[in-house]
C-alpha cells in the first residue's frame, strides 16, 4: 500500500477522503522551522507516515484513531499556573480538539477517536510534581471529558498499563522494557549540534534544550533558595532523564496503539513520524499545564500566571469556587506581545 500511495497511483474515494482528513489535521500543525512546512497533503514524506494509517481505517469504515501524549499535570511553579488541577486552560484545549474532531466527522462519518495519553506519572518524580497531584489531575481530566460530553475522547496513563504495583515500580518497569541507554541519548544530543547531524539527532538536541529550559523555569519561584547556576545545572541533568522516560513512554504507546496516528505537542519536522499539533488555535508554543487561560476580546489565550497578573487581569473562579481563568478587558498590551 505504501508504494502505491507514494507513486500517487491510487486516487479512489477512500484515498480522497483520507487526504481531506489529513488536511484537517495539518491545519494547526506545529513545525520546527518555516522551511519545513509542507505544501499540501501530496508531500510524500507525510503520506507514508500518516495517510497510510488514515486510509487503512477508512477502508474498514472505522474511526480514525489518534494518540496524544500530553496533559501530564500542572507545573509545580505557582507563578505559572493557578494550581494542581485542570482549569479553563485544559477546557479550552479540549474544546479546540473537539471542534477539530467534529470537522473530521463531517468529512468521514465514523469520525475520529482521540486517546489522551496523560504522561505525568512517567516523570513526576524528576520534574517535581507531587504524586497525589498527578493522581488528582488525571481523575479530574477524566471528569472534564465526561462533563464536556466528549464521547470519542478517552485517556490512557501509566496507571492503566501497570496495575497493582506502586508508582516507582511502574516507572522502573517502563524503563526496563522500553528505555534506551543514557549514553546513546547523550551522543544523539551532542551530534545534533553538528552540520552533518541526522533529523533524529537534531530533534533530540532541540528537545533537550526545550526540556532544560522548562525545568529551569519551573524551579524559579519565590521561596526557593538555590542559585540560578545550581538550578541550571540540575535542569540539564534532569532533562536527560525526562527525555529517556518520554521516549520510553512513546515506545509503549506505539506498541499499545500500533494503528494510531501519533500527535505531539512539540514542533515536528516534515517527514517526522509524529504530527506536531497546537492545542489552541492561536497558540504557537504555550501549553495549558505551563500557563493559564486569559479571556480577551478576541478569545482565550494562554500565558504564564505572573504575566496575566502583571497585565492587571481579573481572576475568575468556577461554580465550585476554584480559580479557573483570567479576564482581560483591554487588548492594548496584548497587541504588543507575541503569543
- Digit-coded pLDDT (tens) for 9-58: 446 899 999 999 998 988 888 876 655 556 566 677 767 788 889 999 99
Task: Establish if 184 belongs to a structural domain.
Answer: no
Pair (277, 296) in one structural domain: no
Pair (254, 329) in one structural domain: no
Pair (60, 97) in one structural domain: yes
Task: Establish if 296 belongs to a structural domain.
Answer: yes
Query: What pLDDT, on a 0 to 100 scale, did the predictor assign at position 332?
Result: 46
Contact 282, 339 (CB under 8 A): yes
What is the per-residue pLDDT across 147-202, written as a single tens digit (0 to 9) for each? 999 999 999 999 999 989 999 999 999 999 999 999 999 999 999 888 788 878 88
Pair (295, 175) in one structural domain: no
Query: What pLDDT, on a 0 to 100 scale, did the predictor assign at position 44?
Result: 76
Task: Establish if 238 belongs to a structural domain.
Answer: no
Q: What is the mean pLDDT of residues 124-141?
A: 96
What is the per-residue pLDDT across 223-273, written as a single tens digit (0 to 9) for each? 777 888 999 999 999 999 999 999 999 999 999 999 999 999 888 777 788
Report the alpha-carbon distance of residue 87 to residue 43 in Å, rounded.
Answer: 38
Range of the domain at 316: 291-339
Tell how far CA 157 is from the center of its chain: 14
Res 217 pLDDT > 80: yes
Average pLDDT, the chain: 88
Task: Establish if 236 belongs to a structural domain.
Answer: no
Task: Establish if 116 belongs to a structural domain.
Answer: yes
Q: What 8-state DSSP symbol labels residue 329?
A: -
Lowest-confidence range among 53-67, 124-138, 277-291, 322-336? 322-336
CATH number of 304's domain: 3.30.60.140
Torsions phi, psi of 269, nearest 5? -80, 155
Alpha carbon distances (Å) from 222 to 74, 213, 217, 239, 289: 17, 18, 12, 22, 19
Q: What is the mean pLDDT of residues 315-324?
A: 95
Query: What pLDDT, on a 0 to 100 scale, did the predictor assign at position 136?
Result: 98
Pair (16, 38) in one structural domain: yes
β 323-327/314-317 pair status: antiparallel
Of 237, 258, 283, the last residue of a domain is 283
Pair (277, 297) in one structural domain: no
Torsions phi, psi of 252, nearest 5? -65, -45
Pair (89, 143) in one structural domain: yes
Pair (275, 304) in one structural domain: no
Query: What pLDDT, on a 0 to 100 scale, did the predictor assign at position 35?
Result: 52
Query: What pLDDT, on a 0 to 100 scale, did the predictor assign at position 257?
Result: 97
Instruction: Tell me which of 8 and 262 has the higher pLDDT.
Output: 262
Alpha carbon distances (Å) from 65 to 17, 39, 257, 282: 15, 24, 9, 24
Task: Establish if 60 belongs to a structural domain.
Answer: yes
Task: Establish if 37 belongs to a structural domain.
Answer: yes
Query: What pLDDT, on a 0 to 100 scale, did the predictor assign at position 164?
Result: 92
Pair (58, 29) in one structural domain: yes
- What percent of the chain lies above the pLDDT cut of 70? 89
Query: What pLDDT, on a 0 to 100 scale, did the predictor assign at position 283?
Result: 66
Grid coordinates given for 72: 501530564
Place of cell 532544560: 212
Pair (108, 68) in one structural domain: yes
Instruction: Tell me which of 10 and 107 has the higher pLDDT.
Output: 107
DSSP track, 270-284: TT-SSEEB-SSTT-S
| Long-range contacts of 99-105, Cβ-Cβ distance < 8 Å, separation of 24 or more | 100/24, 100/25, 100/28, 101/152, 103/24, 104/21, 104/24, 104/25, 104/64
Res 62 pLDDT > 50: yes
Task: Establish if 253 belongs to a structural domain.
Answer: yes
The structure's pTM equals: 0.89
Pair (16, 149) in one structural domain: yes
Q: How confident is the model at residue 146 (pLDDT cuts 50, 70, 90)?
A: very high
Pair (32, 164) in one structural domain: yes
Could you tell me which of 326, 325, 328 has the C-alpha nearest to residue 85?
Answer: 325
Specify the number of domains making up the chain.
2
Of 266, 283, 300, the last residue of a domain is 283
Give the strand order in the sheet containing 323-327. Answer: 299-303, 292-296, 323-327, 314-317
Amino acid at each position: 500500500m505504501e508504494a502505491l500511495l507514494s507513486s500517487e497511483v491510487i486516487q479512489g474515494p477512500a484515498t480522497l477522503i483520507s487526504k481531506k482528513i489529513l488536511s484537517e489535521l495539518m491545519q494547526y500543525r506545529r513545525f520546527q522551522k518555516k522551511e519545513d512546512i509542507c505544501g499540501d497533503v501530496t508531500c510524500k514524506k507525510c503520506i507514508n507516515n500518516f495517510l497510510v494509517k488514515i486510509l487503512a481505517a477508512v477502508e474498514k469504515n472505522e474511526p480514525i484513531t489518534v494518540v496524544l501524549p500530553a496533559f501530564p499535570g500542572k507545573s509545580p511553579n505557582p507563578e505559572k499556573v493557578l494550581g494542581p488541577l485542570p482549569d479553563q486552560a485544559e477546557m479550552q484545549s479540549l474544546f479546540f480538539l473537539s471542534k477539530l474532531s467534529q470537522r473530521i466527522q463531517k468529512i468521514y462519518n465514523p469520525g475520529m477517536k482521540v486517546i489522551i495519553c496523560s504522561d505525568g506519572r512517567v516523570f513526576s518524580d524528576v520534574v517535581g510534581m507531587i504524586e497525589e497531584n498527578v493522581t488528582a489531575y488525571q481523575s479530574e481530566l477524566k471528569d472534564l471529558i465526561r462533563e464536556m460530553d466528549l464521547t470519542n475522547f478517552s485517556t490512557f496513563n501509566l496507571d492503566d498499563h501497570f496495575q497493582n504495583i506502586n508508582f516507582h515500580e511502574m516507572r522502573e518497569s517502563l524503563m526496563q522494557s522500553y528505555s534506551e541507554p543514557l549514553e546513546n541519548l547523550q551522543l544523539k544530543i551532542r551530534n545534533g549540534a553538528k552540520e552533518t547531524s541526522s533529523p533524529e539527532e537534531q530533534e533530540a538536541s532541540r528537545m533537550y534544550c526545550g526540556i532544560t529550559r522548562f525545568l529551569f523555569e519551573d524551579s524559579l519561584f519565590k521561596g526557593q533558595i538555590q542559585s540560578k547556576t545550581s538550578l541550571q545545572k540540575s535542569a540539564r541533568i534532569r532533562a536527560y532523564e525526562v527525555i529517556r522516560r518520554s521516549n520510553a513512554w512513546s515506545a509503549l504507546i506505539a506498541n499499545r496503539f500500533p494503528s494510531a496516528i501519533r500527535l505531539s505537542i512539540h514542533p515536528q519536522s516534515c517527514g517526522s513520524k509524529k504530527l506536531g499539533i497546537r492545542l489552541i488555535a492561536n497558540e504557537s508554543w504555550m501549553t495549558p499545564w505551563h500557563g493559564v487561560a486569559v479571556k480577551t476580546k478576541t478569545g482565550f489565550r494562554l500565558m504564564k500566571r505572573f504575566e496575566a497578573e502583571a497585565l492587571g487581569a481579573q481572576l475568575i473562579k468556577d461554580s465550585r469556587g476554584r480559580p479557573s481563568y483570567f479576564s482581560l478587558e483591554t487588548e492594548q498590551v496584548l497587541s504588543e506581545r507575541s503569543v
